[in-house]
Structures are given as structure tokens and as C-alpha cells.
Amino acid sequence: MPTFDWPLGELRRYQPELTHEPDFDLFWQDTLAAARECTDAPSATPIDAGVRAFATYDVTFPGWAGEPVKGWLVLPSGGSARWCVVEYQGYGVGRGRVHDHLLYAACGVAQFVVDARGHSRGDTGDRSAESSGPHEPGFMTQGAHDPRAHYMRRLITDAVRGLDAARSLVSASRFAVAGPSQGGGQALAVAALGDGVAAVLPDVPFLCDYRRGADVSDRVPYLEIAQFLRKRPELVDDTFRTLSYFDGMNFASRATAPSLFSVALMDPIVPPSTVFAAYNHYAGPKDIRVYPFNEHEGGGSLHAMQRLEFLRKLAEF
Amino acid sequence: MPTFDWPLGELRRYQPELTHEPDFDLFWQDTLAAARECTDAPSATPIDAGVRAFATYDVTFPGWAGEPVKGWLVLPSGGSARWCVVEYQGYGVGRGRVHDHLLYAACGVAQFVVDARGHSRGDTGDRSAESSGPHEPGFMTQGAHDPRAHYMRRLITDAVRGLDAARSLVSASRFAVAGPSQGGGQALAVAALGDGVAAVLPDVPFLCDYRRGADVSDRVPYLEIAQFLRKRPELVDDTFRTLSYFDGMNFASRATAPSLFSVALMDPIVPPSTVFAAYNHYAGPKDIRVYPFNEHEGGGSLHAMQRLEFLRKLAEF
Amino acid sequence: MPTFDWPLGELRRYQPELTHEPDFDLFWQDTLAAARECTDAPSATPIDAGVRAFATYDVTFPGWAGEPVKGWLVLPSGGSARWCVVEYQGYGVGRGRVHDHLLYAACGVAQFVVDARGHSRGDTGDRSAESSGPHEPGFMTQGAHDPRAHYMRRLITDAVRGLDAARSLVSASRFAVAGPSQGGGQALAVAALGDGVAAVLPDVPFLCDYRRGADVSDRVPYLEIAQFLRKRPELVDDTFRTLSYFDGMNFASRATAPSLFSVALMDPIVPPSTVFAAYNHYAGPKDIRVYPFNEHEGGGSLHAMQRLEFLRKLAEF
Amino acid sequence: MPTFDWPLGELRRYQPELTHEPDFDLFWQDTLAAARECTDAPSATPIDAGVRAFATYDVTFPGWAGEPVKGWLVLPSGGSARWCVVEYQGYGVGRGRVHDHLLYAACGVAQFVVDARGHSRGDTGDRSAESSGPHEPGFMTQGAHDPRAHYMRRLITDAVRGLDAARSLVSASRFAVAGPSQGGGQALAVAALGDGVAAVLPDVPFLCDYRRGADVSDRVPYLEIAQFLRKRPELVDDTFRTLSYFDGMNFASRATAPSLFSVALMDPIVPPSTVFAAYNHYAGPKDIRVYPFNEHEGGGSLHAMQRLEFLRKLAEF
Amino acid sequence: MPTFDWPLGELRRYQPELTHEPDFDLFWQDTLAAARECTDAPSATPIDAGVRAFATYDVTFPGWAGEPVKGWLVLPSGGSARWCVVEYQGYGVGRGRVHDHLLYAACGVAQFVVDARGHSRGDTGDRSAESSGPHEPGFMTQGAHDPRAHYMRRLITDAVRGLDAARSLVSASRFAVAGPSQGGGQALAVAALGDGVAAVLPDVPFLCDYRRGADVSDRVPYLEIAQFLRKRPELVDDTFRTLSYFDGMNFASRATAPSLFSVALMDPIVPPSTVFAAYNHYAGPKDIRVYPFNEHEGGGSLHAMQRLEFLRKLAEF
Amino acid sequence: MPTFDWPLGELRRYQPELTHEPDFDLFWQDTLAAARECTDAPSATPIDAGVRAFATYDVTFPGWAGEPVKGWLVLPSGGSARWCVVEYQGYGVGRGRVHDHLLYAACGVAQFVVDARGHSRGDTGDRSAESSGPHEPGFMTQGAHDPRAHYMRRLITDAVRGLDAARSLVSASRFAVAGPSQGGGQALAVAALGDGVAAVLPDVPFLCDYRRGADVSDRVPYLEIAQFLRKRPELVDDTFRTLSYFDGMNFASRATAPSLFSVALMDPIVPPSTVFAAYNHYAGPKDIRVYPFNEHEGGGSLHAMQRLEFLRKLAEF
């Protein structure tokens, strides 16, 4: 996949109009207030999955509608930590296995991995009473007719409540939100909606500037939108109106914590222009690492070190 | 797509072992009994969509859990008809628009088009209380952990109840069940589970011999199964056990009405071996039209005439 | 296929120079005069293909060089009609089967389906004395050396004579020309060259702005031009000069009847810029429906209703 | 393209039933007798295309129906030659430019290059009175309804008449027929139908065992057959019956001159089984060079030397 | 990528003939003896890459011709370990960054990561004092003319010397060799050639049964062989004779340590038949985990746990 | 592959900044001086490969580090020639077989074919006494860490020394340098670095404006650069700095002989903008033939004649 999006100079100047409806903030106030009516405490059960160097826990916390959402907590040896990173997951992924998440703890940082409801590598069903269990997509257009019914409302609510859970479970002095792709989009949402966010680390964030994504990406998940609208051309406007409630650029304009973005200029799944749409609107301190020849893997393990350095500069650990 | 499956001679002999679990029949008895607890009558509202030659109705009938399922009824001029064809729809499709369904009525046959819950071209949400509305896939692995939770349980229940609705709404002397692809798989299920089926017309039927489909097809929807199991290799056996409750070859072995199948030998979406798995197990009178160079479009408008001739031979109209 | 052509704003402004040679009009006057030397009347034979709701006829009329061209006539019940739509067919298609054409009659409009000589789904040979019969392409470069020898000269002449035939066979008060893709290109030609056209309905019209099409489309049929010129690079100018005699944008600049175009912004077969090249040059009243996420299927059955509404606004039926 | 056809052992044993109709030989007797009614002598005009080492001529000879067919004659310095190779051309090619054909003359062998009517790199129109000129395909299904109307009847007749022309123009002691792909298929036809053939050199010959080719190749030109029959499934049997008159395996069973075939086991355009269908039926002395990792380029310039050695063994030059 | 190789039952029975030349063992004795002439001790320098939970070292050891080869050593806290896993890397990879390798140490196992000379993610250069001969881009055919000049001779020698280095640097009671893809092929070679191997863990091992790989894989790196032989068809036999010196199935027949293989049935890069060629010839205790729907990622993090359990069963840790 | 690069008007104006480092000229002075320390005379051995019309020789000459490089010399009959064309070869090619090179001699021009070290169709091995460093399979990034270690340093030195060899072996009055793709890039380098160049004929020249090539081409060989930098994102700047020493646009700005370029506007392997980068910087008399619909084959045999005409205009032969 060669460069298919605009040149870097244009990307840096790209500032699409924000798309939030007048009731955007109210929508989220109501949504989160309703979710927080469930006052169940998160539970964290120690597990032995063979990982001996760190304390590992299987977590359950109340997410959207109080439904149980899963997570992994991985604590570095030595108990408390300066930082706790709350990490969200990519589309089609989920929390995976606990031994997939060792880097932060190995470097002395606590990590709380939040599952993605319904996604294949997770353990959290969507709408638990009649849980669909993990399954293969598509989630992009589930509830396209109404923001209140859309899947992303539930996913983002889980993300905010995941931060709440981390803050009640982990004795860290600072909390960061992070994640690749869909997880990066969730991190941006939590940066706007959550409490006590000290750093935001969105990598090749998905869920930003959906219209541009659907216009120029020929890969799922953005392609799911185009495929749906191809069959329902009369729903174009309604669908993007619904998606505006979950758009990372709208969230970015409401976020204030220091942030480190990453973007890959040959990313066919999350086109770089959609990342810059959010980055250029981000309202807090910000930096972005540009990987000119990478695709959706972004900066990979090189960027993993960049994230840790960024946290260290904010508060040594 | 050239020929990729077995040669025709081998296809005609392919007889995989049936996969139904001991409680297969009980599962469906219970499922249908529960659905029939809802005794709401179907409603049929005349509509004016510009089609003047036929009487057209927007139908709502109770499907799985009594949830409202949509349909179109198209009646030939002259009122009653010798035949009513209950037609199910392909994956990702749905009932579409009423003017997409004119052929049967133009030839003097009543047609009842049953919507496919959740699919993009339809108007029926899946689980209506919090309806997801129509959206892009994937449905193949929704509920892979338990046959009671699987999407196909709801879809097939809708199909049986759609036949019930047609029989209460249409004054025809005979009812056929029909459909392309996923609709063909539903028709096979109704042939086994429904009441008063006089003919079965599955075209390039999907939902048969899932394991073979997942092994040899590189296209969605069968690919959704492989993509899911790629991420969850520990769930291979459980997933196919769940799918066995919805497998057209298991239904075919329980069906007795006269049937006309069609199969396309270059079909990459529904591999011909999966069609023959159901056809070779079909327990009633049967015939199959083989289209050697066609892909998933099957016999197209040529086969449309074959279906009408087949009905005419069973009972002139 | 994501958006690959210009953004909509630029498309609306795209106005390539017309390419007609000085003898363009003379060429067509001579061509049509020669064709009309054949004064054989069209014949229409009633057929019974199972379609009982409408009167259906197998038509033969004299086309280019008086050669017999086939068509289907489908009349709504009740005899005369307010409108008759003369419909041309897509590349590689042809008149198909009569039961493929039911929508107009079901809505009370007469339809005359004109076959496409040589194309696979038709029944009209190209140059009948030694007819090649229907076959698979390519037609785009047949006769590239001379407009008088080019296939499109014959195809367009058939189209004009098809309108002549419809007018002599059908007692309708108004005649529209219509068609998808290649059929849309023919409709534009007839709009410029034919007599008594009351409406023009080109859907994702092919045969417009060939140079742009050959430059940016990677699919047949435009690709046939690039593939030919790749082998014969010395013939670039001659070939496009020949094609200019059959270019929909040159015809559009000579047409005056009210028109409704459609265009799909992700159409890889007929790039949207080539459609706007014709639309922007269209000399009569005009409107265009833009389908932003569709490919070459265009607006599908949604747009089918738009066409009927457009006719109804011009003259109620 | 990895190996997709049978393993070499099976290929060597593959012996499909011959498909010639009872009137196969009569058909060709009549066809050639009619063509030979034209007794015009071939003309050979010396040209100066910059090639100074050899005498080069632009040839015109009477082909099917006496129509003018073009060719190049390239004579080694020194006048007469021991061998003259009559070479036919690939699908979509044609005689090209004279300086594309230097190898045989450089090695002391006369070469007569026969054009392929209608193909893009040639200069011979198909049906010259209203010549279509060279153009891009497809030729495979032109006249599928009747062997007398099929394009291949004309192409093969040209091939036989090309040998006649060579024999009247060139003072060589022996004449070989040769060609790659479609040219190899023509060479096999001339080996059966022509007079005075001393050697046959078919490279990756196309036009053999059409049914197998259409079943297993996903590339043009065999794909043209599948694409046609996909649209016209009712014509499967008729089409292959027509093609049987032009099938290299039927010709091979009637040929007696010494032959050297070549085949490439990863050839997606001419599947190796179709080559072995002809080779295994070849009735004269025969040998075949197998290139296990090559695609349709076959043995390339390595095999070019094999051909010359083969001729040298038959008669030193 | 659907199933393209043989069914599992056939795979389990596949037993191609071994291909080692008579001097195979001598070749490797000489090669290793020459390499061991360099008696430089490996060096291990502690590094601070941010990983605090484990002791991490940058290692340099003498490989082929005594050239410096790089590695990472990662030791679990607590000093000595029951097991040390020597891990080799995939084609195009290399040792990467030290924080890419945390799992073994987190579970209490020492890990020595051996770099792959020349590969992109490594830090070890390759040199070819002997001529590489003509070859296709990539490593597979570098030195195809002579086993002594072939790249794989150097890579495998590095692997054996890497085990030597680990044994001198790490105080573990048992040493296992392991690796994915190319690393798995190296592990098999070291299982045959190295000293003191207590377990062998080849995952989707590459470098086995090259002929089958080149015949059926359409992806690099096996494709490099086909691409080379396509250009040099005269070198087919010589090339596979050279490769036989580096074939995992020849090594497997000489290995005796307990082994756990993994294979993925939809792996297009390392076809499952090539894995079974080595597995079925493996001479020691053996087991294999089959992942039916996975591609080249194999069993991923699920299989990572299987490897640790396998080691634990051999010797608790 | 449709047009993907800029429109022709923009291409003609594209003038990227030159990228040569301050020591660029010194680097090459030193490199060539070192190579010329080897004073071995080239050897030319007459061969009999069946080509009787011309004198053919197998040549060995000292290239980089005095290593033996192969070539073919083909002399027209009649001894001395007005022109000798020194021709370099494409990536993955090499000198091939002598009978692949007949056109120049047939037209009265001597040709010296210089092999490409290491490439598959050649007979010249490559050696890298200096470490290649980590690199991606292929030649583009071999030695990316240091211009002195890079493969292209050796390849270009061979090219200059090939001209030296031709001048000592052939008694022609003028010497031209020529070649397609990689050979065209070498010709540009020799035009800047070599002695006594009377004409330069680069066809679709590769090795120009590497950054643009890596940005927009999705095919090897430029893709090798992107694939390498995807794995080593920290090396982007260093890698392009190394490549600047071998960039055809830097060489073009130092060349003065009359030149004829060719470019193909749909070339996905050598994007047209990279050709114009060199052409627009070319410092001598220049012309360029633009092939609008061709891909990497460029102008093919049509352009072969253009090259000969260009030479003839400079000095009649």
C-alpha cells in the first residue's frame, strides 16, 4: 500500500468542521449518568496463568447498563506504581490472554486492559442477558439509525467505566488512557468524558472523521459503512449523524490532558487524514509521531518505547 | 473463479455424516413451541408504492420471541391463487423494496417475502427491544458458544413463523418455500420444521455443511467462521457443534416435500459440495439443476423459469 | 473501491473541451439517412413466456444497414399508456429474457427493450449476413481505425432506429429513452439524434469522455482501450479521434429534452468524472442523483423509483 | 501462481476422449476447398525497416474466403535455406513489427510470420470488406452458435493457407510449423490439415481441450468461454460442440510429422493438462519439454534454442 | 486463504523420500569444525532498555567464519533458571528489540534470542566472501549453485554456534531450541547438529521439503525459488540439490530430543505438507498441535502457553 | 493499472531538489579510482551459440574491486561499426543468453551487453566483503547503512568499467550507453561518470528519485525500500541519504551527452514522476517519448526503432 492519502504538509493543515450535534454533550452526560447508576464494585481475582514475575488479576467491572465487562490487571512487582495505563483494544480483538500484556509491568508501570464487548479475542458479551458472546464483525453500523442504539455508545461507556474501575482498584498516582486503533478512539473519548486522565496515548486511532474514513478506505472496518450505505443509499445522512456522537475529532476538541499520538502514512485501515482530523482538533498539549512507511501496525515496538518515555517525562518512574 | 471444488461425479456421491446432536429435534420443538406462544395475528396493510398491476401489502408478523418481523405480500390480480411462494432472503439482503418482487405475481403466483432480521436491505431489527436495526454483518458467529444464543436460531424461527403467517393471510391452495443462498438454507429448515409445505425451492443454498464451507470458501460469509476461529482456535469444536443445530443437511434429512435445488459449480461463496451435502441427504422427492460455469448468481433468470415450471408440474396454475 | 475520482465539488465543475470533429453532425446525418433507407416495418409477435399480467411481444426491427435487431415489448394491461420507455442495455448484456423487464409495466408504463448487437445476453448478431451471434467482448476497439467501421456506429444507429420502431408500434403519448451504463450512453446519443424524445434517463452512463475513462478506470470495458493502445502506442490519437464520434458528451451538448442522470461516486467501471463530463455539457433541462457510496450498480431499485417519479412529474400516469 | 493442475505423473497419463463430431473431417475438407478456390498468388514486397543483415518482405496472401492476410518473411543472407519455419502468433498479438523476428534468420533459417486476423498487434482485419481492423478481444465465443460462423474457422484456414503461401514463396527444402500459445494451436491444426509439414513445434499450445481449459483457468482467453456461459447457461453443450471443430487434441490425433512440444506446469493461461490432452493424443513422433516453474512464458529463450536443435537433428543446417 | 493443501489424514501419512546427498553429514562436520576454529568467547553486556523486571544483555558471539552475531539474553529475576530457550527468528525479522521478548522470563525461563544475519529487524550483517552467483532478490537462492556458498549454510552455522554461546553464558539445567517459521527450521537443524539439546519447539517451521514448498506456495519466501527457476529453468535440479543440505526433513531424521511442533492448515507461506514432511521424519519423541483455521501466525499466544507446558512436563520449573 | 501519478503537465514541471551530499563527487572519484587500480584487460572469447549472422563473444572484464564481470559482445558483419551501444540490464535480469540480443547487430550497430551482478538471468556473482547490514530481501537496501557498503556502488562501478571495456574491445567511432529500467539508471550514472559517451538512451529508468518511488510505487523493487523502512522506521533518513549517492537525478544534473528518454504514464514499477525527476534535471540536450497507456514495458519494439533513429540522426550508419 503506497501513499494514497494527502501529503504530510496538507495532513498537518487538515481541519474538517466538527460534526457534533447540539445535544452531543447532553447525550453523553445522560449516558454516563445512567451507567453510573450501577454502583457495583469491580472485582479483581488473582490468577495463575504461568506469569510469575507480576501479579495478574482477572477483573470484572460494571460497564454500559451495569453489564459485566472483563479486564486484565497486571501489576509490576513492588506493589504500587507511579503510573497506571488503562488500555483499550483494537477492532476484532479484545483483551486476549493475560500473557499478551507484559511490557508495561516489565517496565514498572501498572496496566489495566479493558475488554471490547463482542469482539473475537475478548470474553465480554454484548448485551449480556442474551449475550452474543465474542464474534466476528461488523459493529460499525449496528444501530446506525439512532445514536442511543448504536454499538459504539456501549463500547465508549465501557471505556469510561473501565477508567473508573482502574481508579478504584489500582493505587497509582497517575492514570493514562491508551490504545491502538479502536482502542485509540476509545482513549480519545475517555480523554473528553472521563475523570482524572493524566495522559492520552492514541496510536493510529480509529473512530475519527468517519466520513473521510468511509470515503477513502477500502478495508474493514471503515468499509463496513460504505458497504451498508451502498445497500441503503437513502440513509447516508442519518448514518453519519449517528456516528457523529462517537467521533474522535469531536471528543478531541473537548480533551485537555497531555497527549502523544502516532500515525502511519501508508495505513489503509485508518487513513492518516482521519488521524490528523482528531489530532489537529485536540485541545490539550499534544505531539504526534509520524511513521512514513508504516501501515496499520504503526510504530510497533519502537513506538512502545516512545510511549514509555513520554510518560516518564511527565512523571518519572 | 474456476472450478475449485470436486468434479461433478464426486459431488453427486458426497455424503458427509450428519452432525445433529441427540437433542436436535427437541431443541427445535422447544424453540418453536416458545415462539408460538405469541398468538398475535399477522397484519397486512395495503400500500401504494407505484405498483398498480398487483395488490401489495406491508406485513408484520410475530417471529422469534414474538418480535415483529416484516414482509411483503404481492398478490396477482384476480384474488386467490393456486400457489403461494414464501421466499426467504440472502445474507446481507433482507426484504428490500416491494417492487423488487414482481415476477411471481406477474406469472399468477402469490408471493410472501420474509425479511431477514438485522440484514442491511431489510427493515427488521434483531432483538427489537433494543433493536440493532439493519446493519452490515457478520452473523455467522453471533452466539457461537451456545445454540440457544446463536443468531440463526432466531432467523430460522422467523422463517417457520413466516410460513405460519402466510398460511393465515393468503388463500392459496398450496404453499412453497423458496429462496436464494441464506434464503435457501432457511427454506430447507422450514421444509423440516414447518407445517403444510407443498414444495421446496432452495437455490445455491447457504447454511449447509458449515465445516466444509469454512474449510474451502475464501469469501464471506463462510469466511467469518474461519476468521473467528483463527482468533479463537480453542473454540473450533464448540463452534461447529453450535452450528450443527442450524445445518441444512440435518434439516434436509428430515424433509419430505418435493424439491428443486440449484447449484453452481464455480460458486466461491456457497461451494457446490456444501449444496450436495444437503441435496444428497434430502429425504423427499428431489431434483437439482447444475450450472457448470456460474458463480453465486446461480441460474439467474433462466432458473427463475425452471422454478415456475416445477410448480406448474406439481399443480397447474 | 473507495473514492478514487475527484471530490464532488470538482466533479460538478469539470467541463472538458468537446471533441467532435467538424464533420460530426454530417457523419450522423449520413449514417442515419442510410439506415432509414430500409423501410421495413418492425414486427411484433405476441409470446407466452409465462407472464400473464402483461401483453408481451417479441419484436424485430431494422437497425443499422437494415439488419434485423431484436427487442421485447411489454405493455401494461389496459392497452395504451401515457409513457413508453425505450430502454437500452449494458455492455455484455443485451435484451435478456422478457421476464427480466416487469417493473415499468407493473407501474403502468409501456417498455420497449432494445437488444445490443453482439452482446452475450442478447439475440442479435452483429452484421447478420455472417452473424457472429452474441459473444463475450470486446467491442470498444472494433473499428478503432475509422469511425465508419467502428462497432459503436452500428450500435447507436440501432438505438435511433429502436426509437423509430417504438414510435410506430406503441400508442403512447410520450417517449422516453433510458438505460444503464452503455444503455445510458445510447440514450444520450438518441437524445441528440432521435425524433420525439420527451425525456432522457441515463444511469451511470458509459461511452462518455473516453479519454478520461481510459486514463482512470482499471476495469473493462474502458480498460479495453488502454490494453489496445498499450499494444499499439502509435494509434493513440487516431483511436480517440474515432471514438469522438460516439462520445456521450458530444451528444449531450446537442440534446434538449428534460433529463435525469444518476452517478455513483465509487463506480470503478464508469468513473464519475466521465458522467459529469456529459452531464455538465447537457444542453437541456437536467438533474442528477448522486450516490456517494455506490459502485456501478448505481442507485439500484431506489433510483428505479426516482425515474418513475421524474416521468410522473413531466406527465402524470 | 503455484502448481494448480494435476501432478506431472497424472498429466502424462491424461487421455480425455476425443470430441470430434462425425463430420469433422468433411467440415475441414469443405472449408479448405472453398478457401483454395481463390487462386491469387501471394505477394512479397521487400521493405527497409532498418534491418540490414537479412532480406525482409511484407507479404500478403489469400486466407479465408480469399481475404488478404499479412505476413513477414525474413530470409537469412545467402538466399535459399534448408528450413523455413512458418510461425503463428499468440492471442492478442499478431505479426507485430518485422524486427521482432530476427532469431531464426540469425541462425540460418527462413521464417514466415503469419498474422492473426483481428488481433491487436497485427495488420489484418477480420472479414475485410467491412474490416474491423485489429482490436482487443474476445474471439473465443465469436460464432459459438455454429462452427461455420466461428472465428476460429477463419483463423485456422488462414494458417493452412499461410503454409501454402510459404511453400510458393520460399525455396527451402523443409517446412516446419510453429508458434506459442494460440500459434501453437494453429500449428497443430496445420499439422493435421496442411500439406508438406516436416516438423511441428507447438509451445504451450492454446486451443486444446477447451472444456478443461474453461473449467480450470481463471484467465483470459479461456475465461471468455466461462464468462459467456455464465450469461448463457443454456448454451453449454452447443458451445463446446462448436469448439470441438477447432480443438487441438482432435487435430493432434490426425497429425504425423515429428513434433517437439513444450509445457509449463505453472501456466495459468494454458493449463498443462490441456497441453497434455493434445500431446498424449498426438499421432506422430513426439517429444515434450516440461518447465516445472514457468508460467505462460514457457521455456523462453532457452526453449528457442531447443527448437533449433530439434530442427538440426531432423536435417542439418 | 482456505484449505489448499491435502486433508489432514493425508498430511499425517505424507512421507516424502529424504533428499540428503551422501556427503551431507560430512558437509556439516566440516562446516561446524571450521566455525569452531574461532574460539572467541561470547560477550554479554548488561543494558538498560527500560525493562526493569529482568536482567537484559546485549550479546555478541562468533558465528559462521567467526563473524560477530548478535543476540539478546533475558534472564528471569532470581538468577539461574531450570530452562533456557534458545530462540531463532523468522525470515525478514531478526532479533528486533529486547522488549519484544518478555514472555519466557515472565514465566521463569531464560531466553537467548539469536539474530538472523542480514534480515531487516536484526543487527547482524551478512557477508558473502564466496560469490553468491546469480540469484533472485532474497535469501533463498543466494548461492543456489553450491551448498558451500549458500546463505543458509551461514545462517544454520550461526544457529549452532548460538546454542554453544547460550551454554557458555547461561547457568540453566536444560536447553531447548525453538522458533517460528525460519526459526523453526533452524531449531530443527540445531536439533540434529548441536550439542545438549533437551527439547525442540519448531512452530510452523520453514526450510523443510523445499520442492513441495516451491510447488504449492504462492508467497515469499518459497516463491523466491520458483521465481528464480522461472528465469533459470536449466538450474532446477542443481538448485534443489543445493537446498537439500539445509532441508529440515533431512535434519529431522537425525534428531532425537523430545519435540513439540505446531502447524496451521491454512498457512499459505509454510504449507502444512512441508511441516508434516519434517514431523513425519522426526526421529525422536514428538507431538504436533494442529490449528485448522490459522494461517502463518499459527497457534499464536495460545500455542505460546502450550510450549511452556511442554517444557514443564519435561522438567518442572 | 490506470494513471496513478500526476497529470502530464505537472510531470513536465516536476523539479524536486537534488539530494547529493557535499562529498558526492569525491565519493565517486575515489570509488572509480580504486576500481581502475585493477588493470587487467577485458577478454573476449568467440562463441558458437548458433547465431551465424554475427560475430558473438563471451566477455569478461574487471568491475568493482577488479572482480570479473560478464558481458556479451555482438558485432554486425563487416567488422567495424559506426556506433557501439553499451547496454545495461533490468532488475532481476542480467545478460541472459546471447541470442536475446540481436536487434542492434541486425541494424548494423555493435552491442556490448553488460551483466548485472547477482541478478537471476546473469552469470556474474556478487560478493559483499563489507557487511550488508540488516536489509530487506532484494538489492535495494543491501548496505542501506553506508553508501560504501551499498550494492548499487558495486553495480554502478561495473557499469562505468563496462564502458571502459567496450572502448578497449570495439573499434566503433561512437559509444552510446543505454538500458531499460535499472539499466537506464545505470546509463544515467555512466553518462555522468564515464568517459567518451556520445549518446544516452535511458528507457523507463529506475534508480531515480528514490523517495518518490518508495512513496508511490506498490511494486518491487521500490517496494523493497518501503518494506525495509516499515520494519526499521528509525532508519528513514539514513537510508535515503545512502541512496542519494546512486540517484539518477543527481547523475542527470552532471551529464552532457545528447539523450533520448522514454517514460510510460501507467508504469507502476517506475512511476513516471521519478523519470521526469531525472529528465527535468538532465543537463545535456534531451528529448523524451511519452507512452500514455503503457506500463513498465514502455514503448517496446516501437521505441526500439526510435532509439536507432535517434542514433542515426546523431551520426548516420
Q: Is the peptide bond prior to D221 cis by the omega test (within 30 degrees of 0)?
A: yes
Tell whether the model's pLDDT for residue A133 goes beyond 70: no
In this prediction, residue C137 carries a pLDDT of 64
Active site residues of C: 181, 267, 296
Residues forming beta bridges with residue E262, ordered by sequence position: E203, E289
CB-based contact E293 B218, cutoff 8 Å: no
> From chain C, which residues contact D within 8 Å (Cβ)?
92, 120-121, 127, 130-138, 140-146, 149, 151, 224-225, 227-228, 231-232
Hey, are the CB atoms on B217 and E294 less than 8 Å from each other? no
pLDDT over 90 at D135, yes or no: no
Residue among B78, B68, B76 nearest B51 (CA): B76
Q: Which of D31, D64, D41, D34 is nearest to D165 (CA)?
A: D41
Provide Rg for chain C, Cα atoms: 18
For chains B and C, CB pairs below 8 A equal 66
User: Can you give the pLDDT at residue A36?
Assistant: 96
> Phi and psi of B93, rounded to 5°?
-110, -105
- Looking at the annotation, which residues of E are catalytic? 181, 267, 296
Burial class, F87, CB count within 10 angstroms (exposed 0-12 / middle 13-18 / buried 19+): buried
Is the CB of B136 less than 8 angstroms away from the CB of A131? no
Identify which of C102, C304, C305 has the shortest CB distance to residue B106: C102
Please determine, for residue F243, whether its predicted confidence score (pLDDT) is greater than 80. Answer: yes
**Residue F134 pLDDT grade (very low, low, confident, very high; cuts 50, 70, 90):** confident
The edge-to-edge listing of strands for the beta sheet with A286-291 is: A43-46, A55-62, A68-75, A110-114, A81-87, A172-180, A199-203, A259-264, A286-291
pLDDT value, residue D3: 85
- pLDDT of amino acid D129: 44
Burial of B78 (0-12, 13-18, 19+ CB in 10 A): exposed
d(CA A214, CA A224): 8
Which whole number is the average pLDDT over F266-272? 97
List the domain boundaries for chain B: 8-311
Strand partners, D178: D87, D201
C265 vs C4, C268, C292, D58, CA distance in Å?
8, 9, 5, 49
Each residue's pLDDT tens digit, C269-300? 999 999 999 999 999 999 999 999 999 999 99
Q: Which residues of chain A make contact with E103, given a CB cutoff of 8 A?
A: 99, 102
Task: List Cβ neighbours of A12 (8 Å cut-off, separation of 6 or more).
Answer: A276, A280
At residue A79, does pLDDT exceed 80?
no
Average pLDDT over residues A190-213: 98
Amino acid found at F160: V
Note whether F touches B: 3 CB pairs or more under 8 A.
no
Rounded to 10 degrees, the C-alpha dihedral E217/E219/E222/E227 comes to 100
Set A101, A150, A296, A303: catalytic member: A296
Please give the radius of gyration of chain E, using alpha carbons only, rounded to the nearest integer: 18
Q: Which residues pair with C202 in a beta bridge?
A: C179
Give the pLDDT confidence score for residue C128 in this predicted structure: 45
Q: What's the predicted TM-score (pTM) here? A: 0.96
The 3-state DSSP class for residue E280 equals helix
Mean per-residue pLDDT of chain E: 96
Average pLDDT over residues D158-184: 97
**C80 vs B154, higher pLDDT:** B154
pLDDT band at B312 (very low <50, low <70, confident <90, very high): very high
pLDDT at C131 (0 to 100)? 46
Interface contact C226-F266, CB threshold 8 A? yes
- Rounded Cα distance between A244 and D161, Å, is 72
Q: Identify the DSSP state of E135.
A: B
D292–E230 C-beta distance less than 8 A: no
Q: Which pLDDT band holds residue C79 (cuts at 50, 70, 90)?
A: low
CA–CA distance, D262 with D292 (Å, rounded to integer) = 11
Give the per-residue pLDDT at D35: 97
Residues in D touching E214 (Cβ below 8 Å): 293
Q: Is B206 helix (H, G, I), strand (E, B) or coil?
A: coil
**Alpha carbon of residue E289 to chain centroid:** 18
Bond before A221 cis per omega within 30 degrees:
yes
Residue of C178, C1, C169, C160 lying closest to C81 (CA atoms): C169
Whether F12 shows a pLDDT value over 90: the answer reads yes
| Cβ pairs D/F, distance under 8 A | 66
Please report the pLDDT score of residue A128 as a whole number. Answer: 45
Q: What is the pLDDT of residues D64-83, one digit of tens each?
A: 999 999 999 999 987 667 99
pLDDT score recorded for residue C316: 86
CATH topology (fold) of A8-311: Rossmann fold (3.40.50)
Chains that touch E (3 or more CB pairs under 8 A): A, B, D, F
pLDDT at A132 > cutoff 60: no
Task: Please report which confidence band the pLDDT of residue C130 belongs to, taking 50, 70 and 90 as the band edges.
Answer: very low
Interface partners of chain C (CB pairs < 8 Å, 3 or more) are A, B, D, F
Is D296 an active-site residue?
yes
- Position of cell 472496518? A221
Does residue F118 surpass a pLDDT of 50? Answer: yes
pLDDT for the residue numbered B136:
54
Separation in Å, CA F139 to CA C25, C304, E118, E137, F132: 58, 56, 12, 6, 10
pLDDT of residue A131: 47
Mean pLDDT value across residues C24-40: 97
Which of B3, B267, B293 is the best mutation test for D, with the most CBs of D within 10 A?
B293
Three-class SS state of E202: strand
* Range E172-183 average pLDDT: 97
Give the whole-number percent of chain C exceeding pLDDT 90. Answer: 87
Kindly determine whether residue F226 and residue A266, on different chains, have CB atoms separated by under 8 Å. yes
The answer to whether residue D316 scores a pLDDT higher than 90 is no
Percent of chain F with pLDDT over 90: 92
Are A115 and A191 in contact by the 8 Å Cβ rule? The answer is no
Mean pLDDT of the D189-195 span: 98
Residues of F in contact with D52 (CB under 8 A): 76, 106-108
- Report pLDDT for B128: 45
C-alpha distances in Å from residue A191, one per residue of A37, A117, E263 = 21, 20, 43
Q: Look at residue F136 in the predicted model and tell me its pLDDT.
A: 81
- Residue E91 annotated as part of some ligand binding site: yes
Lowest mean pLDDT among A34-48, B255-269, C68-82, F202-216: C68-82
Query: H/E element holding A290?
Result: strand A286-291
Q: Lowest-confidence range among A89-98, B60-69, B136-145, C7-16? A: B136-145
Disruptive mutation site among D51, D52, D54 for chain F (greatest number of F CBs within 10 Å): D52
Is residue A114's pLDDT more than 90? yes
Q: Please give the pLDDT value at position F2.
A: 84
For residue A227, the chain C residue with the least C-alpha distance is C293
pLDDT level of residue A134 (50, 70, 90 thresholds)? low
Distance from CA of A227 to the nearest CA of B (A): 7
pLDDT over 60 (residue A5) = yes
CA D168 – CA D86 distance, rounded (Å): 12
Question: A306 φ, ψ to 5°?
Answer: -60, -40
| CA dihedral sign, ordered E128, E134, E136, E141 | negative
Digit-coded pLDDT (tens) for E144-173: 999 999 999 999 999 999 999 999 999 999
Q: pLDDT tens digits, residue range B132-179?
A: 556 656 789 888 888 988 999 999 999 999 999 999 999 999 999 999
- Give the mean pLDDT of D217-230: 94
Interface of E to F at Cβ within 8 Å reads 92, 94, 118-139, 141, 220-221, 224, 227-228, 231-232
**Cα within 13 Å of Cα(C26), Cβ side:** 3
Question: Range with the lowest mean pLDDT among B192-206, D29-43, F128-142?
Answer: F128-142
Q: What pLDDT does E262 receive?
A: 98
pLDDT of residue D128: 45
Distance, in Å, from the CA atom of E316 to the CA atom of C296, rounded to the nearest integer, reads 63
Strand-strand pairing, C43-46 and C68-75: unpaired
Which residue in the set F217, F218, F233 is minimally distant from A291, CB to CB? F233
C-alpha distance from B39 to closest chain A C-alpha (Å): 23
The pLDDT score that the predictor gives to residue D133 is: 55
User: pLDDT at residue C41 above 70?
Assistant: yes
Q: Given A96, A106, A302, which is nearest E51 (Cβ)? A: A106
F30 assigned to active site? no
